[in-house]
Amino acid sequence: MAHASEINLAEASIVDRFIALFAGWKETYATRQTYRQTVKELNALSDRELNDLGIGRGSIRFIAQMAVYGN
């Protein structure tokens, strides 16, 4: 049975780096869209519905940030 004692990693080509960069942008865009949709949906609720959830209208953006980004 053969064992690899050393693995050489080739450097990523410019195309691979561009693809990775584009994937990062795509993920960031999708996350931002999720944040915007969350804010939009919470803003659409009435004050009574928000109160039932224990959310003040002034904390909608903070709640959305916590829900989407987790920080």
Domain segments of the chain: what residues? 19-69
Tell me which residue has tokens 């053969």: 2
Question: The pTM is what?
Answer: 0.73
Q: pLDDT per residue over 6-57, tens digit each?
A: 666 667 789 888 999 999 999 999 999 999 999 999 999 999 999 999 999 9
Token code pair at residue 12: 């990523």
Chain-centroid distance, C-alpha 49: 26
Token code pair at residue 7: 């693995």
